[in-house]
Structure 1
Amino acid sequence: MQSLHTTSFRKPSDPVVHDIFDKATGSWQYVAVDPISSRAVIIDPVLNFDPVTAKFWTESADRILAIVNENGYKVDMILETHVHADHITAASYLQHTLGRNEGIQVPICIGSRIKAIQKLFGEKYNIPPEEYEGAFDKKWDDDEVFKIGMLTAQAIHLPGHTPDHMGYKIGDDVFVGDSVFYMDIGSARADFPGGSAQSVFDSCHKLFSLPDHTRIWSGHDYPPTGRDEPRSCTTVRQQKEENKHLIIGTSKESFVQQRRQRDETLAAPRLMHQSLQMNIRAGRLPEETKSGERMLVIPLRTDMSW
């Protein structure tokens, strides 16, 4: 599923947005484009992975490339909102493919706090530091401003789901990753290492302080019963008036209690271990072992003894 958003109320300072849904992981991927120069960024791309066969394929990322190629866009950078725990990033694949096709090195970008996340999970999974240090080409400082063609963009720190989480504001559009979802889903979980329900609340209210017409593009959707299709875009006003967790008047104390109770019922993401090991490497494969294999490790439950 994909769509193109070029509605009449957009200004020259706003991007054209293509949203591409990956059904297997419930993930939204984006291509945001300066309509004047056709310069573009790719946001949170997905690499397909089957944990049973341990095979990768590139269907979702190739849909992004098709949009880029069909429209003659020139990709300036690949933006990651955070180290995802529920899908593997296609950033490295896209960087390699775009480099091969266009002869350029498209930088992979993420928030500056990624170093602490890489160290945490590098040690957890016993990954040599040289496999993830330097994996990202650009690390944004909070509120750092950059250009996409003629458009002005800004990296906005939105901690809570993870401590390194960044959003990207481009004109009147803000790509928020796993901060806030469609109104009938609510907010993102906050039970990962370094996560904080209080920070989720604060980050969402940072977003809600933007003008009511600002468009919010979420990183996921999981349509509940009664809603037929995934939704990528809402407005600040819609979120403030309808979000099931964050409707106007909800106190931080009430939100935190509700968020923690909800998180206690959630299972770990299906691809968590594979995703974290790949994503701290910006989607690069592990180095080969002495036997010539590339390995991802899966922790075992040790509540049994014999």
Structure 2
Amino acid sequence: MTEPLIRHSPSRGPSSPDVWGVYDEPTGSVQYVAACPVTRKAALIDVVLGFDPRSFATNTRSMDAVLDLVGHEKLVVEHILDTHPHADHLMASARLREATGAPNAIGAKVREIAALWRDLYHLPDAFDPNRDFDRLLADGDTFSIGDLPVRVMLSPGHTLGSISFVVGEDVAFVHDTLMYPDMGTSRCDFPGGSAAELWDSVQAILALPGPTRLFVGHDYGAEGREDPMWEATVADHLDRNKHVHAGADRDAWIAKREERDATLALPDRMLAALQVNLRAGRLPEAEADGHRYLKMPLNRF
């Protein structure tokens, strides 16, 4: 296995976090470490538990790369955060909580997402976010990473319960709302998604100050560009985001987004991922033979 691509976006002062992005090539996901430059306290955001959709085998390679980075930088993990229950990768939240002792958190609307997927999987007693997450975060909630304040923004659209984290004076982790400017915006056709809500979420994010560094959840590459990219400022997006630049029309974007989404296949990990991620990354309990199993709905999508 090759070493993961890691980039450091340095702090711009005591109120500005250090940010490392760790790229998970199999899923096109970007995992983040955000750290207070004064205290060296850190949060881990959207970390991936490896999963092979052919064999259904899991691995900890991406998670281990993030923890190795934490050790190398002599950081102390204070929070384990996820922006939403991901459809394209398994989350490492539960394993990170066990490995670090730090509490884990996700948006409070995960309760509604869990209810929706209990029906889709016909698992009426499955998924208890109150058990599996230490904190369920609502719009406007605040906490800190070391000396850095963090504000939670509800950013629905991609899912009904996606949240963004605004950290310090110049950083926001905006998950699957925006892509890198040359890719535009993310899909919003999953159960509970909404193009209209995604537009509103993007506009709230782009109302942050122009120099704010926005860190997106994925990059799948773009024509004419070889290297994965995940950081751009609010000003960059307003200037050149191919979908939601300054002056973009709401109704035209919604129509284009919905037309595009109608052509997209489900992510190949989705039906496995949601069943695990709504348990904070815990695998289902072992059955009588000592093995764990997932349940897959037929003809529901």
Category of TM-score, reference length = shorter chain: over 0.9
**Equivalents in 2 of 1:54, 1:288: separation in Å?**
15
The residue correspondences of 1:200-211 to structure 2 (distance < 5 A) are 200-211=198-209
**Equivalents in 1 of 2:300, 2:49: separation in Å?**
31
**Equivalents in 1 of 2:71, 2:125: separation in Å?**
35
Q: State the shift of 1:257 in Å.
A: 0.4
Partner of 2:61: 59
Counterpart check, 1:29 vs 2:31: yes
* Residue of structure 2 aligned with 1:5, choices 6, 9, 28: 9
Q: Is the 8 A contact 2:23 2:31 kept in 1?
A: yes
Q: State the shift of 1:96 in Å.
A: 1.4
TM-score, structure 2 length as denominator? 0.95
In structure 1, the gaps of 5 or more residues are 99-104
Task: Report Cα offsets for 1:163-194 as digits up to 9, x if no partner.
Answer: 10000000210000101010111111111111
**Equivalent residue of 1:18, what SS?**
strand
TM-score, structure 1 length as denominator? 0.93
The residue correspondences of 1:1-306 to structure 2 (distance < 5 A) are 1-6=5-10, 10-98=12-100, 105-127=101-123, 129=125, 131-133=127-129, 134-171=131-168, 172-301=170-299
**Equivalents in 2 of 1:184, 1:267: separation in Å?**
21
Q: Is the 8 A contact 2:120 2:297 kept in 1?
A: no
Q: State the shift of 1:265 in Å.
A: 0.8
Q: State the shift of 1:11 in Å.
A: 2.2
**Equivalents in 1 of 2:172, 2:80: separation in Å?**
15
Q: State the shift of 1:131 in Å.
A: 4.8
**Equivalents in 1 of 2:247, 2:155: separation in Å?**
21
Structure 1 residues 259 and 84: alpha-carbon distance in aligned structure 2, compared to 1, 3 A threshold = same
Q: State the shift of 1:235 in Å.
A: 0.5
Task: Report Cα offsets for 1:216-235 as digits up to 9, x if no partner.
Answer: 00000011221010111000
Q: State the shift of 1:95 in Å.
A: 1.3
Partner of 1:102: none
Q: Is the 8 A contact 1:44 1:81 kept in 2?
A: yes
In structure 2, the gaps of 5 or more residues are none
The share of aligned pairs that are identical, in percent, is 39
Q: Is the 8 A contact 2:120 2:300 kept in 1?
A: no
**Equivalents in 2 of 1:200, 1:78: separation in Å?**
25
**Equivalent residue of 2:260, what SS?**
helix
**Equivalents in 2 of 1:72, 1:189: separation in Å?**
37
**Equivalents in 2 of 1:209, 1:54: separation in Å?**
41
Q: How many residues align?
A: 295
